[in-house]
Amino acid sequence: MSQIISNQLHQRLLLTAAAVGMFLDGLDGSIVTIILPQISESFNTDTGTASWVIITYLLMMAGLILIIGKIAERGHIRKIFLLGLCVFTAGSAACGIAPDLEILLAARILQGIGAAMLAATASLLCVTYLPKDMYGMAFGAISMSVSVGVATGPAIGGFIAQYFSWHWAFLMNVPVGILILAFGMYIIPPDIPREIQPFDLYGSILLFGLMVSCVYCLERISHLGISDLQILLSGSISIACLIAFYIRERMCHILLIHIRVFSVMNFTATLLAFLIYGCVSMGIFYLLPFFLQAGMAYDPAMAGLFLLIPPLITAIIGIPVGRWSDLIGRRPFAIAAAVLSIAASGIFMIIIPETGFIPLIFGLLIMGLFMGCFGGPVASRVVENAPPGEEGTGTSLMVTAVYLGSVLGTALFATFFTLGSAETGISAFSDLDPEKFLHGFHLSMTAGFILSVLALILSVIVREKKTRENSVRI
């Protein structure tokens, strides 16, 4: 029995619910970065300890998306999406009223679990209930929502921190979450009961350990250094979990992830290109605020206004580009995204404060076009190139690549910045000598340029699929 929604209004309302959920995900992943100093001061702790407010959220997201996605595929998409809204909203309220750092971290774990439930099911809602010729528009809307949430988080957080208190950065999610919950209960079709299937608990534990230890290692390596015991231990755990998970999936009859999906060259190439796009975009956005303030000497408010340019462009073109890719194919936009990524990295690779704000605006405009091109079309391309019957797995891996790419981009660009600036840490960018700062900034952008070239190659070698189905079943 087909689950595809034919009513166009109902299709758009369903997409709206999924997109708003992903906006909240992206917003709360980035809004905390700007309010960490206030949180640190409020609880009388150092910024290193306060950074766990970010880390705990990312760990839950990365560790649970794939697992929750596999559970949702068994006929529980609506239940998990709505439950995710409840958990996320409750976690946000707990964060907003947390009396100490320990309770705040526990609340962030709860919030991260809810966010993982939303992220795992938002794309599955599209794959399950929307026709395949809407994938580009649907994933474009979701990608636009995440990008706008991530990019506007620091600006919104800065405003809240300056005029209110950091608590409202979390409390503002509560009324939005309640409204979307009521909306989702009305608009999302009931789950269709499916045959009860066994679940690979041991594989799930190994996968969770792999993702959590890998993300922790990547996030902390630029802070602690590659020789630190925590990095060596977390890296060793991730490798051990990877080997054990691979063996488990090869021997077990109840598969959590069909390893064979990675044997399909087109799928692996498009997934890797998508991961690179997320890595480069997040890496650039990670360093740009420091360039604007330490390099260009803009105050935080002005820097925030500049950083709103890319998400504004993405918001304008995201859905039209996705709809266009539904009509003419994904490949041209995947290649265009790579070219735009190369151009943006190239501009920031040579930009200096003396050139003024015109090259900066030009680079930010290209970033917005880049994010608008890779979001919907490339995300759809990943799902379409998944092996037959594995669209759900492809969707879960695609969503995981979004967050893993963000962590990887932050860690990679921070590491190259550290190498280029010849400094031992990254916590005091604004205190660096301007020449050293620019050298580190340009070296990081050079890494982004090289990665973008690799993404271009991967995008070119994968040909457009010749046929398109009008619907898909999970």
Q: Is the pLDDT of residue 227 over 80?
A: yes
Q: Is the pLDDT of residue 319 over 60?
A: yes
pTM over 0.85: no
Q: What is the tens place of the pLDDT at every residue in 353-366? A: 888 889 999 999 99
Between 417 and 474, residue with greater pLDDT: 417
Q: Is the pLDDT of residue 91 over 90?
A: yes
Question: SS3 for the chain, per residue?
Answer: CCCCCCCHHHHHHHHHHHHHHHHHHHHHHHHHHHHHHHHHHHCCCCHHHHCHHHHHHHHHHHHHHHHHHHHHCCCCHHHHHHHHHHHHHHHHHHHHCCCCHHHHHHHHHHHHHHHHHHHHHHHHHHHHHCCHHHHHHHHHHHHHHHHHHHHHHHHHHHHHHHHCCCCHHHHCHHHHHHHHHHHHHHHCCCCCCCCCCCCCHHHHHHHHHHHHHHHHHHHHHHHHCCCCHHHHHHHHHHHHHHHHHHHHHHHCCCCCCCHHHHHCHHHHHHHHHHHHHHHHHHHHHHHHHHHHHHHCCCCHHHHHHHHCHHHHHHHHHHHHHHHHHHHHCCHHHHHHHHHHHHHHHHHHHHCCHHHCHHHHHHHHHHHHHHHHHHHHHHHHHHHHCCCCCCHHHHHHHHHHHHHHHHHHHHHHHHHHHHHHHCCCCCCCHHHCCHHHHHHHHHHHHHHHHHHHHHHHHHHHHCCCCCCCCCCCCC
CA distances for 307 relative to 139, 313, 355, 410, angstroms = 23, 11, 18, 17
Between 274 and 219, residue with greater pLDDT: 274
pLDDT of residue 424: 47
- Rounded to the nearest 5 degrees, what angle is found at the Cα of 280, between the Cα atoms of 227 and 295? 85
The listed range with the strongest mean pLDDT (124-128, 369-373, 449-453) is: 449-453
pLDDT of residue 202: 81
Residue 156 tokens, joined: 């919104």
pLDDT of residue 348: 94
Half-sphere exposure in the Cβ direction for 22 (13 Å, CA): 30
Among 12, 67, 21, CA closest to 393 = 67
- Provide CB contacts within 8 A for 441, sequence distance 6+: 287, 290, 291, 295, 348, 417, 420
Q: Is the pLDDT of residue 445 over 80?
A: yes
Half-sphere exposure in the Cβ direction for 78 (13 Å, CA): 16
Query: How many other C-beta atoms are found inside a 10 Å radius of the C-beta of residue 303?
Result: 20
Between 283 and 402, residue with greater pLDDT: 283
- Provide CB contacts within 8 A for 211, sequence distance 6+: 62, 63, 66, 400, 404
Residue 75 tokens, joined: 């006929």
Amino acid at 345: S
Residues 393, 257 contacting (CB under 8 angstroms): yes
Q: Over range 289-293, report the average pLDDT.
A: 77
Residue with tokens 């990524």: 341
Amino acid at 321: V
Q: What is the dihedral of CA 39, 41, 45, 50, to 10 degrees?
A: 20
Q: Is the pLDDT of residue 255 over 60?
A: yes
Q: What is the tens place of the pLDDT at every residue in 430-440? A: 455 778 888 88
Amino acid at 110: L
Residue with tokens 């594989």: 203
| Reported confidence tier of residue 197, pLDDT bands at 50, 70, 90 | low
Q: What is the tens place of the pLDDT at every residue in 199-212? A: 777 888 888 888 78
Q: Is the pLDDT of residue 254 over 70?
A: no
Q: What is the tens place of the pLDDT at every residue in 342-355? A: 999 999 999 988 88
